């Protein structure tokens, strides 16, 4: 970080720490009336999470690097998208590419289609098998409906299966019972023509509750990015519902569903065989979809619970590179029981079927336009209390069979030790796999065009490089070891430290294939085929630190820092290919990240939040480090009515957060400061 940026960072940090002290004297008399949160830090650390072991347990007892963002945390950030909210998770990399595209990963291997991060909504996977990754524009749900976001850094494959390699994100929504009454939120922003959210919840008889919502917005970004001078926009409309029903004293059920439609600008480079050997496509990105989920919980006894879950998901995604229609059905069951006081067992099984229809696009094609993929799996895990309340051991494994790589076994072992009150030490060892994407299994990519008589092509003909799959690619494999330490020296102070070492094998790379000279076509050329093969390997290590502190009842400070060192080696066996295919073509990661959030509750129902973020440079991509500031001021005018204003990406003006060197990825835009004004009105019996 240069001296000027460091000076700004110091000044902003000092200001965020000093302002609450100045107002404390005037505020102290009224402090008991206006709490920042109803929960102390100790109570926040006791929030129950379910993503680590597929059962509810206090966050502080989880033997994993887990972080929770609550609904109150989301409200006070002023952020309007889930990716922005995820910026406040240590070890998670969030880079905005354009208005509707993000690159999000955990502990490395970031890309626009980050293949090693599993994302779910209430346990329903939204991980796309097309390219491996998440279409974040399709996950723009109503933020006011989110109860919490649980983020696990590190493998979670024993519970959640393949592709939960570097992390798991589970977005958990509120129950219908906690969202009774009505809510309406309207906002305008410097990059938003309009934004509107409306929700209503009510009773269905004496034992059931419902809610439904609609959300719509239209956002735009003016022309003026680091590349071509092109405008950008994103418009979205979606709606959904949830019904919770208590069928009997032992049985309850939940039904959720939703529909959405998205339209946005998508600008990308593509390959041509005529000068200048690349073109620019500026077209519309369209996606439509819907989902339905049903869950049933049966309390067999005080020591045994049986759960059933099934969902159906439809997505039509018209990417300029390739168009996809996909329908997925998933059925699973889970049983939790305690055979005695020292054992708690979680076991289950799952079946998933996904069918697709693909249409060739700009630079991507497939010889198999339709395919049905499937997987079935079973898992079991036992948490053993070796020394009750002192030492526990967790052993488990996932056994999964899928259509492309057959059987995969993904075990884990975790230990939790409590040396003294307020101190917890944990460690783990686990294996996880990332299965090949649909296009890695059967796709053709136009990766590069090399002009004739150039450094890497001394021939008089242009060379096109085509990446192809021979159906021989296998799963990428991770062996991970982790350690962590949590300490609460005071009821209002918590510190969480984690470290890890990751060893990756069989990372997807390229191997030289056949060379074909075509002199009969409209453009004589040489085609150099490269085959997708598991030629690369990698290792990485790093750590994360997070702190949560309430010096006084009206003031809360949270912060995080992460460091990552990742090295990938590629076995490129051709001089030509080594010049046009970067060895780390899929990875780009900041080595250091830090953030600090200062939250203060002022007199007269005014909340003030300020966040300062630092993201290190992307050394291999020419993306500079940056410091950004985000702020929100909210005023509760009367019961049920809040007016708020927010600013995002202050300090430093425009900046680029990501740069991809792979064709068919969205062109990076300059991310601009944004200012927002809005109001939220709730009526009836509503729990925020």
pLDDT (tens digit, 9 = 90+) per residue, 409-439? 999 999 999 999 999 999 999 999 999 999 9
Task: Determine what percent of the chain is predicted with pLDDT higher than 70.
Answer: 89
pLDDT level of residue 582 (50, 70, 90 thresholds)? low
- Asked if the structure places residue 79 within a domain, the reply is yes
The DSSP bridge partners found for residue 306 are 298, 335
Whether the pLDDT of residue 150 is over 70: the answer is yes
Task: Determine what percent of the chain is predicted with pLDDT higher than 90.
Answer: 65
pLDDT value, residue 588 = 81
Cα–Cα dist 280/270, whole Å: 6
The DSSP bridge partners found for residue 202 are 210
Q: In angstroms, how far apart are the furthest CA atoms of the chain?
A: 87
Q: What is the mean pLDDT of residues 593-599?
A: 97
Containing H/E element for 577?
helix 575-580
SS3 category, 678: strand
Query: Is residue 256 within 8 Å of residue 240, measured between CB atoms?
Result: yes
In this structure, the number of other CB atoms found within 10 A of the CB of residue 212 comes to 17
In eight-state DSSP terms, residue 625 is P
Sign of CA dihedral 159, 165, 166, 168: negative
- Residue 512: partners with Cβ closer than 8 Å, 6 or more residues away: 528, 529, 530, 531, 573, 574, 577
Whether the pLDDT of residue 27 is over 70: the answer is no
Cα–Cα dist 615/88, whole Å: 12
pLDDT (tens digit, 9 = 90+) per residue, 226-277? 445 566 889 999 999 999 999 999 999 999 999 999 998 888 888 889 998 8
DSSP string, 283-334: EEEEEEEEEEEEEEEEEEETTEEEEEEEEEEEEEEE-SSEEEEEEEEEEEEE
Q: What is the CATH number of the domain that holds 541?
A: 2.40.170.20
pLDDT value, residue 571 = 65
pLDDT value, residue 570 = 73
Range of the domain at 190: 3-683
Backbone angles phi, psi at 368, to 5 degrees: -120, 90
Q: What is the mean pLDDT of residues 544-550?
A: 96
pTM for this one? 0.92
pLDDT value, residue 595 = 97
Q: How long is the chain?
A: 688
- Asked if the structure places residue 562 within a domain, the reply is yes
How large is the C-alpha radius of gyration of the chain?
A: 25
pLDDT (tens digit, 9 = 90+) per residue, 360-398? 988 889 999 999 999 999 999 999 999 999 999 999 999
- Asked if the structure places residue 688 within a domain, the reply is no
pLDDT value, residue 83 = 96
- Asked if the structure places residue 537 within a domain, the reply is yes
Query: Is residue 364 within 8 Å of residue 322, measured between CB atoms?
Result: yes
pLDDT value, residue 664 = 66
SS3 category, 592: strand
- Asked if the structure places residue 162 within a domain, the reply is yes
Averaged pLDDT of the chain: 88
pLDDT (tens digit, 9 = 90+) per residue, 134-143? 999 999 999 9
Query: Is residue 591 within 8 Å of residue 107, measured between CB atoms?
Result: no
Lowest-pLDDT range of 44-48, 345-349, 350-354, 603-607 = 44-48
Sign of CA dihedral 100, 105, 108, 112: negative
DSSP string, 628-671: EEEEEEEEEEETTEEEEEEEEEESSSSB------STTSPPP--B
Number of domains in the chain: 1
- Asked if the structure places residue 357 within a domain, the reply is yes
- Asked if the structure places residue 619 within a domain, the reply is yes
Containing H/E element for 44?
helix 41-45
Whether the pLDDT of residue 156 is over 80: the answer is yes
């Amino acid at each position: 970080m240069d001296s000027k940026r460091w000076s700004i960072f110091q000044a902003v940090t000092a200001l965020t720490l000093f302002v609450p002290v100045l107002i404390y004297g005037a505020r102290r008399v009224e402090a008991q009336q206006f709490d920042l949160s109803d929960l102390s830090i100790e109570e926040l650390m006791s929030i129950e999470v379910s993503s680590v072991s597929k059962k509810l347990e206090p966050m502080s007892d989880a033997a994993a690097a887990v972080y929770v963002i609550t609904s109150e945390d989301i409200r006070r950030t002023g952020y309007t998208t889930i990716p922005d909210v995820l910026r406040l998770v240590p070890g998670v990399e969030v880079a905005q590419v354009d208005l509707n595209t993000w690159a999000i990963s955990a502990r490395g291997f970031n890309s626009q289609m980050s293949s090693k991060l599993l994302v779910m909504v209430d346990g329903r996977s939204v991980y796309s098998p097309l390219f491996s990754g998440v279409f974040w524009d399709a996950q723009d749900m109503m933020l006011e409906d989110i109860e919490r976001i649980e983020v696990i850094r590190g493998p979670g494959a024993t519970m959640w299966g393949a592709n939960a390699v570097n992390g798991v994100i589970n977005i958990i929504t509120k129950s219908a019972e906690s969202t009774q009454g009505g809510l309406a939120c309207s906002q305008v922003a410097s990059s938003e023509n309009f934004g509107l959210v409306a929700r209503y919840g009510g009773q269905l008889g004496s034992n059931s509750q419902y809610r439904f919502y609609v959300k719509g917005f239209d956002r735009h970004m003016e022309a003026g990015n680091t590349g071509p001078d092109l405008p950008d926009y994103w418009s979205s409309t979606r709606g959904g519902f949830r019904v919770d029903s208590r069928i009997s004293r032992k049985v309850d059920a939940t039904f959720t569903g939703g529909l959405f439609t998205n339209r946005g600008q998508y600008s990308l480079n593509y390959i041509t065989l005529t000068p200048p050997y690349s073109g620019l496509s500026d077209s519309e990105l369209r996606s439509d979809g819907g989902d339905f989920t049903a869950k049933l919980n049966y309390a067999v006894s005080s020591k045994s619970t049986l759960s059933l879950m099934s969902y159906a998901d439809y997505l039509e995604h018209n990417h300029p590179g390739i168009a996809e229609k996909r329908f997925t059905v998933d059925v699973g069951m889970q049983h939790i029981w305690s055979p005695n006081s020292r054992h708690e067992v979680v076991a289950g099984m799952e079946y998933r079927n996904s069918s697709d229809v693909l249409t060739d696009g700009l630079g991507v094609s497939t010889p198999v336009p339709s395919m049905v993929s499937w997987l079935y799996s079973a898992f079991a895990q036992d948490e053993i209390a070796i020394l009750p309340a002192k030492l526990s051991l967790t052993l488990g494994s996932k056994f999964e069979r899928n259509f492309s790589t057959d059987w995969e076994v993904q075990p884990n072992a975790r230990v939790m030790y409590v040396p003294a009150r307020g101190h917890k030490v944990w460690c783990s060892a686990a294996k996880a796999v990332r299965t090949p994407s649909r296009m890695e299994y059967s796709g053709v990519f136009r990766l590069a065009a090399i002009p004739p008589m150039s450094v890497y092509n001394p021939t008089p003909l242009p060379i096109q490089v085509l990446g192809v799959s021979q159906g021989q690619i296998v799963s990428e494999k991770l062996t991970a070891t982790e350690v962590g330490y949590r300490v609460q020296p005071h009821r209002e102070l918590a510190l969480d430290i984690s470290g890890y070492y990751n060893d990756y094998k069989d990372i997807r790379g390229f191997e030289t294939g056949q060379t074909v000279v075509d002199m009969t076509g409209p453009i004589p050329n040489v085609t150099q085929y490269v085959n997708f093969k598991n030629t690369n390997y990698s290792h990485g290590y790093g750590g994360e630190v997070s702190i949560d502190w309430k010096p006084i009842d009206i003031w809360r400070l949270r912060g995080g820092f992460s460091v990552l060192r990742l090295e990938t080696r590629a076995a490129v066996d051709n001089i030509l290919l080594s010049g046009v295919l970067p060895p780390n073509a899929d990875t780009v990661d900041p080595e250091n990240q830090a953030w600090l959030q200062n939250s203060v509750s002022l007199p007269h129902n005014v909340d003030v939040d300020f966040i300062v973020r630092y993201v290190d440079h992307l050394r291999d991509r020419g993306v500079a480090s940056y410091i950004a500031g985000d702020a929100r001021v909210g005023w509760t005018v009367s019961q049920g009515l809040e007016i708020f204003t927010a600013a995002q990406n202050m300090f430093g003006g425009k900046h680029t957060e990501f740069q991809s060197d792979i064709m068919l990825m969205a062109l990076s835009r300059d991310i601009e400061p944004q200012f927002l004004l809005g109001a939220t009105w709730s009526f009836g019996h509503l729990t925020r």
